[in-house]
């Protein structure tokens, strides 16, 4: 475990955290909410490439989920980042992201980049990932990964792929 503040610590998510991650994502009003089942599976199958920040009671108050794409083993794709409203403004998302990439770089040989998608206008995510790139001396490449018309379930903003690298973690 890595300390983030005196009363908070980060570690890997467990299946028991799935419901809390779903609630934090739901309450964010910014993330595409996945089924509660998917958060349970995520905590089981991708705990090694994800992280939670816990309060003094051990309850999750923030998370970052990610995975290593099979065809790009040097890349960590960050799926979602969210922090409970009561904990925002403390730099937890940046600390989670830094800590996760440091851990993944140590455990998975050859981490050279991270990727994420951000919808236009999500200023908080844009700032989080551009400041991450600055802290790590990396460049940011932006390309549209999915156009608005690619989504079959109604109106959706395009998803812009941010590729950050090369990393020096």
Confidence band of 64 (pLDDT split at 50, 70, 90): very high
Mind listing the pLDDT tens digit for each residue in 15-57? 999 999 999 999 998 888 899 999 999 999 999 999 999 999 9
Mean pLDDT score, 93-115: 94
Look at residue 114 and tell me whether its pLDDT is greater than 50: yes
Nearest 5°: CA angle at 104, between 123 and 52?
60
* Mean per-residue pLDDT over the chain, rounded: 93
Token pair, residue 103, equals 């851990």
Confidence band of 4 (pLDDT split at 50, 70, 90): very low
Q: What end-to-end distance do the CA atoms of the chain give, in Å?
A: 18
Is-contact 94 129, C-beta < 8 A? no
Candidates 83, 81, 97; CA nearest to 134 is 97
Share of the chain above pLDDT 90, in %: 83
Specify the pLDDT at position 103.
96
């Amino acid at each position: 475990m890595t300390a983030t503040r005196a009363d908070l610590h980060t570690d890997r998510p467990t299946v028991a955290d799935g419901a809390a991650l779903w609630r934090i994502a739901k309450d964010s009003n910014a993330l595409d909410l996945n089924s509660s089942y998917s958060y349970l599976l995520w905590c089981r199958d991708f705990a090694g490439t994800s992280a939670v920040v816990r309060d003094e009671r051990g309850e999750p108050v923030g998370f970052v989920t990610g995975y290593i794409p099979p065809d790009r083993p040097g890349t960590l794709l960050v799926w979602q980042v969210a922090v409970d409203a009561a904990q925002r403004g403390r730099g937890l998302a940046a600390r989670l992201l830094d800590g996760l990439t440091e851990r993944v770089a140590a455990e998975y040989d050859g981490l050279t980049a991270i990727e994420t998608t951000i919808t236009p206008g999500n200023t908080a995510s844009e700032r989080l990932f551009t400041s991450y790139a600055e802290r790590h001396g990396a460049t940011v490449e932006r390309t549209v990964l999915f156009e608005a018309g690619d989504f079959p379930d109604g109106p959706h903003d395009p998803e812009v792929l941010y590729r950050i690298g090369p990393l020096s973690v």
